[in-house]
Structure 1
Amino acid sequence: MPSLFRRKRLMAVLIGFIVLVALIGFSIRDRDSLTTPEKFFKDTVGWMQSIIHKPVSLVDNSVDNIQNMFEVYEQNQVLKARLSEYKGVIKDNQRLKNDNAELRKTMEKTKSLSDYSPIQATVIARSSDRWFEQMTINRGEEHGVAKDMAVLTSEGMVGKIKSAGAFHSTVQLLSGFDRSNKISSWVVRKDKNEAFGLIEGYDGESGRLLLKGIKLDEELKNGDTVISSGLGGVFPSNLRIGTVEEVVNDHFGLTKTAYVKPFADLFNINHVIVVDRSMQTVENEDQKEDGDS
């Protein structure tokens, strides 16, 4: 019995193998059309693939889209960072250009003031509560700076030395001047002699200096230039101060007051020149002694 059972099993395996080979041979031979079972099997497999492919494709596309979104977000963050850096570089370059332009003007002004022994300085501090009155520069007594020396930029006068330390000094700005601080000045007029006046104070509302003590018979026009006269004994002469914008009579009707727009920007100052008048005095005395001899 066992032997017969083995034989039957062997025969079944052989028959199955033969049938399989026959089916394989039948399926791989060149044919114009498929059999009905093949068509059914092929269509069934195709439908199953379509059904499985749609959700898989949807999930795959969703994953790709999410990945692309993250990549785009990261790229945007990088671009924003680079754009911020680029803007910072542009601002730094613009600031450096402005500083260089201001330094060039200061150097040119220094050459033109060689008779006054100019001392170049940089503004290093400006108090927030006294922004319109004072600032600190990086030059002091060790550099030749002394109290009451005139301070100017390439555009014009901005103030005077209020106090001098060994290596730093405090500048009192024209916008912080009061009646106790006066600058003897000339108003330069076309085809007329200079008119005398005193810079006394600052009008904070209009941002203009007050030139007082002008005689009633003096005729001033808008645009007339105001310069230092040097008659006060403190400041050198011919330092540019500003231009006349408005002229009014004083309260008592005895003199006139002119509103003067400063040449220099009193609120945006980076580099200044401290002017030492004593050098001019010494040179003039030496020239007089040479002439007398």
Structure 2
Amino acid sequence: MPHFFLNKRLIILLIGIIILVSLIGFSLRDRDNISRPEQFVKDVVGFGQSLVAKPAHKIAGFFGDMKELQNTYTENKKLKVRLEDVARLEKENVELKKENAELREALDKKESLRDFTPIQATVISRTPDRWYERIIIDKGKKSGIKPDMAVITSKGLVGRVISTSEMTSTIELLSSDNTKNRVAAFIQAKSSVHGLIAGYDRDKKMLLMKDLPIDEEKIKKGQSVKTSGLGGIFPKGLDIGTVEEIVLDQFGLSQTAYIKPSAEFYDFEHVMVVARSMHTGDNKEEE
């Protein structure tokens, strides 16, 4: 009896499979019309798919948007870093161009220094309490630098050495308030007019050339002013500046010329210390 029921169940299962396959084959045929049960099943399945598909698409879209937002954020961070790098490189490029121009001008100037020996140096600091008066360079006694040597940039005279160590030197600028910081100079006119650079006007940012004869009418605005070499310290012919204005002194006994400096006193990095090749005379006007 049990074997009969087992065979009966097997027969029912096989008949069910045959009917299912037949229905599947029937439903897969190309037909213009489908039966109502098929319509019902398709409608139910389609409705179920729509219920599942819409939330699924929204969830997928949400995670897709989040991923895209994360990618955008990452790209923005990378772009910001690149922009910062570009800005840094541009700044470095400007500084390098400026330094290159200074060095090129210094090399050109070096070729024309026939009366003295130039020593190339770099500014390493400025004295904090005398920012506009003194600088320190990276060359000293070991490089042959001595006190009272002239210091120039590619533009012109900026000061003189006042003290040295083995590896560094302190330079007093022409813009210093030190009244003893004097330079023998001359104005290039039809015939040279000699005087002393002795002082600096902070307001006008000009050097003062004092003790000029009052009857010297040949002094004109725009004439060049150079070191005369008569003091026995500075070589002759170092560029100082140009005449900007002529005024009488307070007693009316001499004239003072306001000299626009050729060199910049506050914005330079490279200098040359110049040692005279020959000393002519013992009389020293610069102190």
1:115 paired to 2:115 = yes
1:281 paired to 2:262 = no
Equivalent residue, structure 1, for 2:246: 247
Offset from partner CA, 1:176-221 (integer Å, 9 cap, x none) = 14221111111112xx222222111111122211112222222332
What SS class does the counterpart of residue 115 from structure 2 fall into?
helix
Shift of 1:267: 0.9
| 1:44-193 pair list within 5 angstroms | 44-189=44-189, 192-193=190-191
Equivalent residue, structure 1, for 2:228: 229
4+ aligned runs moved over 3 Å, structure 1: 1-19
Shift of 1:115: 2.2
CA contact (8 A) 1:243 1:261 kept: yes
What SS class does the counterpart of residue 176 from structure 1 fall into?
coil
Q: Cα distance 1:13–1:142, how it changes in 2: closer, same or farther (>3 A)?
A: closer
1:199 paired to 2:187 = no
Q: Cα distance 1:232–1:17, how it changes in 2: closer, same or farther (>3 A)?
A: closer
What SS class does the counterpart of residue 129 from structure 1 fall into?
helix
Equivalent residue, structure 2, for 1:288: none
C-alpha distance in 1 between matches for 2:238 and 2:6: 128
C-alpha distance in 2 between matches for 1:18 and 1:99: 94
C-alpha distance in 2 between matches for 1:62 and 1:258: 79
Equivalent residue, structure 1, for 2:285: none
C-alpha distance in 2 between matches for 1:239 and 1:6: 124
Shift of 1:9: 4.7
Equivalent residue, structure 2, for 1:23: 23
Worse-matched range after superposition: 28-37 or 268-277? 28-37
AA aligned to 1:201 is G
Q: Cα distance 1:10–1:236, how it changes in 2: closer, same or farther (>3 A)?
A: closer
Calculate the TM-score normalised by the size of structure 1: 0.87
CA contact (8 A) 1:178 1:202 kept: no
Shift of 1:94: 2.8
AA aligned to 1:57 is H
Equivalent residue, structure 2, for 1:260: 259
Shift of 1:2: 6.1
Gaps of 5+ in 2: 282-287
C-alpha distance in 1 between matches for 2:154 and 2:53: 78
Equivalent residue, structure 1, for 2:207: 209
What SS class does the counterpart of residue 178 from structure 2 fall into?
coil
AA aligned to 1:264 is A
Offset from partner CA, 1:118-171 (integer Å, 9 cap, x none) = 222121222333221111112212222111111101110000001111221100
Percentage of identical aligned residues: 46
C-alpha distance in 2 between matches for 1:232 and 1:70: 74
Q: Cα distance 1:177–1:239, how it changes in 2: closer, same or farther (>3 A)?
A: farther
Calculate the TM-score normalised by the size of structure 2: 0.88
AA aligned to 2:106 is T
AA aligned to 1:96 is L
AA aligned to 1:238 is G
C-alpha distance in 2 between matches for 1:2 and 1:166: 118
Cα RMSD, aligned residues only: 2.2
C-alpha distance in 2 between matches for 1:114 and 1:230: 14
Shift of 1:83: 2.3
Q: Cα distance 1:127–1:70, how it changes in 2: closer, same or farther (>3 A)?
A: farther
CA contact (8 A) 1:177 1:200 kept: no
Q: Cα distance 1:87–1:39, how it changes in 2: closer, same or farther (>3 A)?
A: same
C-alpha distance in 1 between matches for 2:52 and 2:246: 93
Worse-matched range after superposition: 90-99 or 109-118? 90-99
Equivalent residue, structure 1, for 2:216: 218
Shift of 1:7: 6.8
